[in-house]
Every structure is written in structure tokens, then in C-alpha cells.
Structure 1
Amino acid sequence: MARFSRSDFTLESFRRQLANVDALPQLCVLGLVSGVITGTVMVAFRLLLEAGAVLYMPEGEPEAFEGLSPWLRALLPIVAVTLIGLLLYRQRSAARKLGVSHVIERLTYHQGRFPLRNWLNQWWVGVVSVLGGLSAGREGPAIHLGAAASSGLGLKLRLPNNSLRVLVACGTAAGISASFNTPIAGVIFAMEVVMMEYTLMSFMPVILASTMGALVAQVMYGNAPAFRIPEVALGSLMNLPWIVVIGLVIGLMAGLFIHISRSQRLQTLPLWLRLGVVGVGTGVLAWWFPEIQGIGYDSVAAALNNQLAINVLLALMVAKLLITAITVAGGVPIGIIGPVLVAGAATGALGGMLGGWLWPEKAADPGIYAMLGMAAMMGAVLQAPLAALMALLELTHTPTIMLPGMLVVVVACLTSRQLTGCEGFFISSVRYGLHPLQQPLMQALSRVSVPAVMERQLVRTERMITLDQARRLLETNPMWLVIERSSEDKPVLGLKAAELARWLLEHDEALDGEAPPEDELIDLLEIPGQRLEMAPIGLQATLSEAFLKLQDSALGALYVVHGYRPKQQRISGIITRGAIERYYHYTDARQTDARETDS
């Protein structure tokens, strides 16, 4: 029976285990805690929306814009963009980054570390955007708040950066799950859109986080599906060609949406003009069509049940999609998934009505097409077909819709990518699609932290030492000598201990039994051997960070700094290019063997 000591259950031991690539039990524990934290945060955000709606919305319903007077609902977007302009745009540009794009950027370029100010801004901006009548969803704030809260747990515990990446995915999945009661879609979205990888080490913690997030939300709001729809079926297979046509149309609309939202011409306009266009444009549209305001889930439910007039469906299809894109281009950080679902459902419902007019005997119910349009638009805009299909299943609780759903989603995704040249909305927003985590090497190196491969056998020494000091240095059989310099502007150097041992043997042989001079000193910079110039790297860093840092041609190695106070830091190990290459080749060989075994 294995014996465990108290040291096996310390936080320091937990950190060491997380640094390795096979820390699945530890990551699962983090997933559970992350799900509870994120679920609680999302319940708090939804309660905040409901509390704000009590002030002026009919019956305290956050989406009841139809019950407001035309003047009030037209004025709300102008007030919302004014508040965002005055309170958000007075801050520095880094603090204005919010939502899913910000999450992907922090994961990609900052190892999943989130600034506190951005997180606090997301709370009030998310509430103002939705309650202010802008065409905005709550999933953007949900993902940002959940991912940052989970990452904050890792930072508080000083966990290695490779585990922060998993925590960000856990927070993302739990945020989606708790916000929309879609735990499977939350998992797929986190892996497909944010992490961009499917690995066992990430999947299981994310599943646990999404489960816990959904459970916390269900305790508060119950487990009913987001939309209640009647029992409908596709019927004749003659509907499939028409579904393909609708997928083509939605793919083109998705491409148009992305092109407008990323329009450089709009983004270069003065801030006051951009915000003015968003506020006034939304207000004018809301005067006649209040359905375009807010998230629009009530409109989706009505479209699924054939309760919307054709003019309202046209407004949701065209006006809501365009005003959402213009809002993004105008610099207002909003969630786009909710509005995209609404526009897709309206497009599908209109397509279903047209099909019923052309083929009344064979055409399926327009509600079926509304479901398909919802998934197709989400998949095409995000370039995330699996997430869209899972959202379709969980939002409607209609398994029979999956076969035509797969067809329409693939057609829409291909059309958006191939005919309009658009990548996924969130990828195109992060440095124009140059996403380092799409590179297999960087993905592999980001899964493990430097303690897993660093060489720990080292001793620190000054440049000038005596013979006795040299022999004492070698008593512990170190692999490396870390030569500290006289001033901080001079680089720390690394010398293999074997070089010093060889020099001592040659020196003793040269003396031929004679006693060495008492004041003889050894200059470690002069003895024969290769000295590597080194730079520091934190103990929490991933191998991908070390790999990028070692691209500097002047550096031969990195010394790993341990400790959180400058005067108490110590060197825990050394990591070289060779150590990183050995790890990668070993991992790659295992993956190759596994593929060969499977085949």
C-alpha cells in the first residue's frame, strides 16, 4: 500500500504536481472549485440585471422593451453609450478591453492572467449594455467574468501558468453553462473557441467546471430549457435542399456581419461620432421595432413558436444583425452571441415561411427552420460548428433536429469561410487571426511548466573562488554552477560542473604532488569550458514562455527564480534549449506511437 506523508498534501506539493503534463487529478479539483466560483459569479450578474430592470422595466423583466413608451426605449441606447463613453473611455486603452476577445488575448499572450480593472469594468458595462437597450448579449460578460474569476483563484494560490490556462477554459465553460443552462455547449465552446484544442488533461476539468456552474445556476433558476417549443418534425427529405439554400444565405450574412464589425473605416472615425451612430441608430430602430433591443431571447422563443409577424422577422434578420455589427465596430464592448442567435432564428423562420409558400405540401414548420437558422448563424460567425450544434440541442431539447442541423451548420460555416473569407469572429479580433496557440508546438509547450523539465542540481557561486571552495562546491555532485556577477547589469552565467572538476584534476596533475599557493584563486570565467549567458524566468512559467525567451540568440539557458519577494528569491533550476527539445520530442514520439497503435 502506498504511504502518504503530510508533505504530499501541502500547497507547495500541489503546485509541483500541477507543473507536470499529467496532473489530471489536481486539475479536476481546480475544475470543481472553478465551476462553483463561476456559477456564483453568474448568478450574481443575473441578479444584478434583474435588480436594474426593477427600476424602470415592465414587471422587472430585463427584456420587456416592448412595454416601454417609444420615447423611453429610443432614449435608453443614447444614455447607455453616453455612460460608456464617459466612464469607460476616460480610462487607458488596456482597461477598455472586455469580453470574449479579451479572454482569448489574455490566454494567448499573457498566460491567462487578467487585470482586475477590466474585470470590474465588465460588471457595469455588461449591465448598462443590456439594460440600456443596446443590441447586446450577456454571454460576453459571462465568459469574461467566469474566466477571470477562475484565473484569479490560480493567481491567489500562485499556481503554475499551465494550470491557469485550464482554469480560464473552466471559467469560460462554467460561464456559458451557468448563463444559458447549456453545460455541453459550454464545454465545447471553451475547447473549440478559446482553448482551440481537445486534450484529456483539459477536457475533464472543463467538464467538471461546466457541470458545477450549471448546478449552481439550476439551484437558483431551475433546470427548464431556455426555450419551450411544440413537438415538430422535419417531415419530408425534400426539405433538405431548401435547408442547404438557407445555410448559404446565413453564411453570407455571417460574413457580412464580421466584415462590418471589423471595418477599419468605421473604427477610425472619432469616438463621439461612433458612439453617436450606435446610440442614435439603435434608438431610431427601437422606436418602431423594440424587439431589436437587448439580448432578444424572448423574440427567439416567439420565432420558434411562429408568433412573430413578417415585418418583425425582417427587422430582426437585417436590422438587429447590422446594428450589432455597427455597435462592435463603434467600440462598445458587447456580447454578440445572443444577438447572432436572434438574427439566425429570424432568418430561418423567414426561410421556412418562404418554403411553405413554395411547397405547402412538403415544407416543414417554420419553427424548425428557426432552430436551424439559430445554430447556423452561431456556427458561421464563430466558426465553431460543434459548439453551435450542442447549443442547438440544449437550448431546444429536440434531438431530432440534429441531422438537418449538422447539414445547415456545415454549409453556413463553409460559406462564411470560403466565399466571404472570414475566420471566426473572435479569432479575427485577436491580432487579425495570428493566434500562437494554433501552432502545435506552442500548444504542446504551454501544457507544462518549467519545473517539470528544469535541471535542479546546481550551486550558486561567485566568480573568484579558492581551491577549497571549488572542491566544496562539487561535494553535492551538482550539474551546473551558476556564476553570479559583481553588478546587476552583467548577465548571470552558467558553467557545467564537470568543466570545473576537469580543471581541478588537470591542476592537481600539473602540481605533481606539490602544495598549491595558499592565496591561489580560480577565475571561473577563465577556466576552459563553455559558459552560457542566462536570463531569469519565473517558476510558474510554461515551456512556451521559456521557448520564446530562448529565441534571443545571446541566451544559452534560463535560470528559474523561486520566491515572491525580490530579496528572498532563490534559483531553483536551470532550463536549456536541449531540455525543451527533449521534452517536445519525447511527447511527440508518444503521440506518434499512440496514433500508430490506434490505426
Structure 2
Amino acid sequence: MARFSRADFTLEAFRRQLANVDALPQLCVLGLLSGVMTGAVMVAFRLLLDAGALLYMPGADPEAFEGLAPWLRALLPLLAVTLIGVFLYRQKAAAHKLGVGHVIERLSYHQGRFPLRNWLNQWWVGVVSVLGGLSAGREGPAIHLGAAASSGLGVKLRLPNNSLRVLVACGTAAGISASFNTPIAGVIFAMEVVMMEYTLMSFMPVILASTMGAVVAQAVYGSEPAFRIPEVSLGSLMNLPWVVITGLAIGLLAGLFIHVSRNRRLSGLPLWLRLAVVGVLTSATAWWFPQVQGIGYDSLAAALNNQLGLQVLLVLVIAKLLVTAITVAGGVPIGIIGPVLVIGAAAGALSGALGAWLWPASAADPGVFAMLGMAAMMGAVLQAPLAALMALLELTHTPNIMLPGMLVVVVACLTSRQLTGCEGFFVSSVRYGLHPLQQPLMQALSRVSVPAVMERQLVRTERIVTPEQARKLLDTNPVWLLIERSSDDKPVLGMKAAALARWLLEHDEALKGEPPPADEVVDLLEIPGQRVEMAPIALQATLSEAFLKLQDKALGALYVVHGYRPKQQRISGIITRGAIERYYHYSDPQDKEPTV
């Protein structure tokens, strides 16, 4: 039976265990903490929306724009873009990045570390966007707030960077779970859209985080499903061809949405003009059709229950799609997931109404097609079919809708990707060449931190030593000698200790028992042996960071720096290309065939 000491339960031991690829218990602990924290953050964000709605919204409902006077609901978007322009865009350009795209960018290129200023901006920009009558959702802010808060916990505890990746996924899943009350969809969204991988080491902590996020949200808002809909089914299988046609149409709508939101002509306009276009367009549309404002969950619920007229459905499909896409193209950082669900549900309801007119005897209820359209639009825009299907199941609580749901989601995703040339909305928004999260090798190396493979047996020494000092250097059986230079601008050099041991042996043989000269010294840069230039790398870094740093041809290895204050830093180990290659080329020796 394994014995544990008090040292096994210290924070330092916890960090050391997290550096390995098999730190599942430790990651699960982080998942629980992340879920509780993100759930609390999401509840606070929703309370902020409710508090803001108390000031002027009918019934203190953040979605009740229809109850406002036309002049007031038309004025709100103009005020919203003015506030965002004045208080957000007067900051540095790096502070403008918010939402899911920002989360993926920080995970891909910054090891999951988030700037505090962006996190603080997300709070008020998210509230202003929704309550200001822009076509915006709360899921984007929830994901950013949750992921950044979870990552911040890891940074505060000085955890290795490979665990920060998992914390970002945990915060994402818990944010979706607490926002929609959809814990399974939160898990799939985090793995499919943000992490872009499915591994056991990530799945279990993310599941725990999503569960705890939902528990915290349900403790405040109850466990009722997001939408109440009657029991419905597809009915006759004769509806399946119309399901395929619906998927084709929604896939084209998804492609249109992405192309408009990436319109370079609009995004190239001066900032003041872009914000003016967004504000005036939203304001003019809201004067006549307030359904385009806000998230639109009230309209979504009405579409699922077949309670919207054709005119309103057309407005939601055309006007809300264009207003949302132009808002994104105009540079306003909004959440798109909620509006995308509303647009898809309206498009599906229109398709169902047309099918009922063409085949009244066998056509399914338009509410069924509204459900299918909701999932199809989400899947096609995000290129996340599993997340869309799980959202469909958890939002509607209708398991028998899954068969046509799978068909319509796949058709819509294929149509958007193949016929309109659109990749996932968030991937295309952060792509600079080949996306790092889509490279299997970089994914594998990102799961492990350098302490897991670094060589710890080393000793630091000056360049010039006496033979006696040289022998003492070898007393601890080091593998590496780190040769310190006379000035900081010269690179640290590393040499295998075996080279010094060989030189001392040959030196003693050459003396033939005679005592060495009293003033004899050893120049470690002159004795035979291969020396390599080294550069520093942080103890928290992942193998992917080390791999990229070692692409510099001049570097032969990296020395791992431990410590957080410059004058107190120490070198903990050495990592070489060979150590990284042995990690990802590793195979069990028992699997090899015996040689003769």
C-alpha cells in the first residue's frame, strides 16, 4: 500500500503532478473549482442584466423590447454603440478583443493566459450590448468571463501551462452550462469548438466543471428547462426529404451570415462610421420590428411553440441575420450564439410552414422544424455538429427529435462548408495560417509541461575551475554541466558531464602518478567535448512551447528556470530536442519484437 507524506499534499507537489500527462485526479479537482467559480460568475452576470432591466424594461425583463415605446427602443442601440465607442475603443487595440474568439486566440497563442483589462471590459460591454438593444447574446460574455476566471485561478496558483488549457475548457463548459442549463452541450462545445480535441484527461475535468456550473445556476434560477414546448414528433418518415431541404437552406443562411460578418469592405471603414452604421441600422429596424433586439429568447420560445406569424419569422430570418452579422463586421464585440439560435428557429419554422402548405396531410408541425432549424444553424455557423445536437436535446427535452436532428445538422454543416466555403465562425476569426489547435503534434505536446521530461541532474559551474573543483562537480553524478559566462549577453553553454569525466581520467593517466602543477586550471570551454547554446524557458511552459523555441538552429537545449523573482530564480533542469522526441515517439518496450 502506498504511503503518503505531508510533502505529497503541498501546492508544490500539486504543481509537479499537474505537469504530467496522467494528472487526472488533480485536473478533476481543478474542474470542480472552475465549475463553482464560473457558475458564480455567470449568476453575477445574469443578475447584472436583471438589475439593468429594472431601470427601464417592462416587467424588469431584459427581453421585453416589444413593450418599449418605439422612440426609446430605437434610441437604445445608438446609446449602446456610443458607449462602446467612447469607453472601449479609446483603450489600446489589444483591449478590444472579447468573447469566444478571444478565448480561442488566448488558448492557441498565449497558453490560455488572459489580460485582466479584457476580462473587466467584457462585463460592461456584455451588459451594454444586451440591454442596449443590439442583436447580441449572453453566451459569448459567459464563456469569456468563465474561461478567464478559471485561467486566472491557475495563474494565481502558478500552475503549469498544460493545466491552464484544461482550466480554459472547464470555464467554457461551465459558462455554457450555467447560461443555458445545458451541461452536456457545455462539455461538447468546450471540446469541439474551443479545445478542438477529445481526450479522457480533458473530458472528465470538463464534465465536472460543467456539472458544477449548472448546479450553481440551478441553485439560483431553478432547474426548469430553458424553453417549454409541447410534446411533438416528426411523424411520417415522408418528412425526411423536407428535413434535407431545410438543412440545405439553413446551411446557405449560415454561409451568408459568416460572409457578411467577415465583410472586409465594412470592416475597413473608419471606426466611427462602422459604429454609426451598426447603431442606425439596428435602430431603424427596431422601430418597426423590436424582435431583432437583444438575445431573442422570447421569440425563440414563441417559434418553438408555433406562435409567430410569417411576417415576424421573415424579419427574424432576414433582418436579425443581417443586423447581427453587420454588428460583428462593424467591430462591436457581441455574443452570436443566442441570435444564431433564434435565426435558425425562425428559418426552420418558415420551412415547416411551407411544408405544411405543400403537404398538409403528412407534414410535421412547424414547431418541429423550428427545433431542427435552431440546431442546424448553430451547427453550421460554428461547424460544431455534436454541440448543436446536444443543445437541441437539452433545450427541448425531446429525445425523439434526435434522428431528424442528426440529418439536418450534418446537411447544414456540409452545405455551409462545401457550398459557401465557410469554416467554423470562431476558427476563421482567429486563424493565422494553420491553426495550432488543428495540429495533432502540437496538441499532444501542449498536454504536458517541461518538468515531466526535463533532465534534473545538473550542476552549475564557472568556466575556469581547478582539477580538484572539477572532481567535486562530478560528486553528485550530474548529466549536464551548465557553464556560466563572464557577461549576461553571452549565452549559457551546456556540456555533458561525461566529457569532463573523460578528460579528468585522461589527465590523471598522463600525469603517471605525479602531482599536478599548483597553478593548474581547467578551461571548460577548451577541453574536448560538445557544447550547446542554451536559452531559458519557464518551469510552467508546455512541451509545445519548448518545441517551438528549439526550432532556432542555434539552440541545442533549454534550461528550465524556476522562481518568480529575477534575483531568486534557479535552474531546475535541462530539456533537449531528444527528450521531446522520446516523449512523442515513446512505445512500450514490451511491445517490441525480441531481436536475435
TM-score, normalization by structure 2? 0.98
Residue type of the partner of 2:279?
A: G
CA distance in 1, matches of 2:449, 2:406: 39
User: Counterparts of 1:164-175 in structure 2 under 5 Å?
Assistant: 164-175=164-175
User: Counterparts of 1:337-486 in structure 2 under 5 Å?
Assistant: 337-431=337-431, 434-486=434-486
User: Counterparts of 1:229-308 in structure 2 under 5 Å?
Assistant: 229-308=229-308
Partner of 2:522, secondary structure, is strand
Q: Which residue of 2 aligns with 1:28?
A: 28
Residue type of the partner of 1:576?
A: T
CA distance in 2, matches of 1:437, 1:136: 27
Q: Which residue of 1 aligns with 2:44?
A: 44
Residue type of the partner of 2:89?
A: Y
Residue type of the partner of 1:306?
A: N
CA distance in 2, matches of 1:38, 1:592: 43
Aligned length: 591
**Match status 1:208 vs 2:175:** no
CA distance in 2, matches of 1:483, 1:431: 41
CA distance in 2, matches of 1:263, 1:554: 43
Q: Which residue of 2 aligns with 1:543?
A: 543
Q: Which residue of 1 aligns with 2:147?
A: 147
User: How big is each residue's C-alpha offset from its partner over 1:533-591, in whole Å with a ceiling of 9 and x where there is no partner?
Assistant: 000000000000000000000000000000011001000000000000000101xxx59
Unaligned runs of 5+ residues in structure 2 are 592-596
CA distance in 1, matches of 2:590, 2:353: 53
| Alignment CA distance shift 1:225-1:578 (3 Å) | same
CA distance in 2, matches of 1:580, 1:375: 42
User: How big is each residue's C-alpha offset from its partner over 1:418-440, in whole Å with a ceiling of 9 and x where there is no partner?
Assistant: 00010000000002563111101
CA distance in 1, matches of 2:590, 2:541: 28
Residue type of the partner of 2:452?
A: A
Residue type of the partner of 1:214?
A: A
CA distance in 1, matches of 2:49, 2:588: 47
| Alignment CA distance shift 1:592-1:194 (3 Å) | farther
Residue type of the partner of 1:160?
A: P
Q: Which residue of 1 aligns with 2:220?
A: 220
Partner of 1:556, secondary structure, is strand
What displacement does 1:141 show?
0.2
Residue type of the partner of 2:505?
A: L
Partner of 1:482, secondary structure, is strand
| Alignment CA distance shift 1:592-1:548 (3 Å) | farther
CA distance in 1, matches of 2:31, 2:335: 24
User: Counterparts of 1:107-146 in structure 2 under 5 Å?
Assistant: 107-146=107-146
User: Counterparts of 1:57-96 in structure 2 under 5 Å?
Assistant: 57-96=57-96
Partner of 1:481, secondary structure, is strand
Q: Which residue of 2 aligns with 1:498?
A: 498
Q: Which residue of 2 aligns with 1:578?
A: 578
What displacement does 1:382 show?
0.1
User: Counterparts of 1:9-28 in structure 2 under 5 Å?
Assistant: 9-28=9-28
| Alignment CA distance shift 1:144-1:396 (3 Å) | same
Greater mean alpha carbon deviation, residues 571-580 or residues 505-514: 505-514
CA distance in 2, matches of 1:486, 1:593: 48
Residue type of the partner of 2:118?
A: N
**Match status 1:518 vs 2:518:** yes
Residue type of the partner of 1:409?
A: V
Greater mean alpha carbon deviation, residues 405-414 or residues 228-237: 228-237
What displacement does 1:23 show?
0.2
CA distance in 1, matches of 2:589, 2:565: 43
CA distance in 1, matches of 2:300, 2:489: 63
Partner of 1:476, secondary structure, is coil
CA distance in 1, matches of 2:233, 2:549: 57
CA distance in 2, matches of 1:342, 1:226: 13
Contact 1:178 1:217 in 2 (8 A): yes
Q: Which residue of 2 aligns with 1:597?
A: none
Residue type of the partner of 1:149?
A: A
What displacement does 1:276 show?
0.4
% same residue: 85
CA distance in 2, matches of 1:188, 1:233: 25
CA distance in 1, matches of 2:356, 2:59: 37
CA distance in 2, matches of 1:440, 1:28: 24
Partner of 2:461, secondary structure, is strand
Deviating runs (4+, > 2 A) in structure 1? 431-434, 590-594
Contact 1:535 1:555 in 2 (8 A): yes
Q: Which residue of 1 aligns with 2:594?
A: none
CA distance in 2, matches of 1:368, 1:593: 55
Partner of 2:475, secondary structure, is helix
Residue type of the partner of 1:211?
A: T
Contact 1:423 1:433 in 2 (8 A): no
CA distance in 2, matches of 1:232, 1:172: 31
CA distance in 2, matches of 1:443, 1:26: 20
TM-score, normalization by structure 1? 0.98
User: How big is each residue's C-alpha offset from its partner over 1:518-538, in whole Å with a ceiling of 9 and x where there is no partner?
Assistant: 111111111111001000000
Contact 1:250 1:376 in 2 (8 A): yes
User: How big is each residue's C-alpha offset from its partner over 1:142-192, in whole Å with a ceiling of 9 and x where there is no partner?
Assistant: 000000000000001000000000000000000000011000000000000
Residue type of the partner of 1:250?
A: I
Partner of 1:197, secondary structure, is coil
Residue type of the partner of 1:145?
A: L
CA distance in 2, matches of 1:134, 1:482: 59
Residue type of the partner of 1:481?
A: L
CA distance in 2, matches of 1:9, 1:73: 57
What displacement does 1:117 show?
0.2
CA distance in 1, matches of 2:353, 2:99: 35
Q: Which residue of 1 aligns with 2:314?
A: 314
Unaligned runs of 5+ residues in structure 1 are 595-599
What displacement does 1:107 show?
0.3
Q: Which residue of 1 aligns with 2:187?
A: 187
User: How big is each residue's C-alpha offset from its partner over 1:486-520, in whole Å with a ceiling of 9 and x where there is no partner?
Assistant: 11100000000000000001111111111111111
CA distance in 1, matches of 2:245, 2:236: 16
CA distance in 1, matches of 2:519, 2:118: 61
CA distance in 1, matches of 2:41, 2:518: 69
Q: Which residue of 2 aligns with 1:103?
A: 103
User: How big is each residue's C-alpha offset from its partner over 1:428-470, in whole Å with a ceiling of 9 and x where there is no partner?
Assistant: 0002563111101000000000000000000000111111110
Partner of 2:237, secondary structure, is coil
Partner of 1:22, secondary structure, is coil
Contact 1:101 1:429 in 2 (8 A): yes
CA distance in 2, matches of 1:99, 1:435: 18
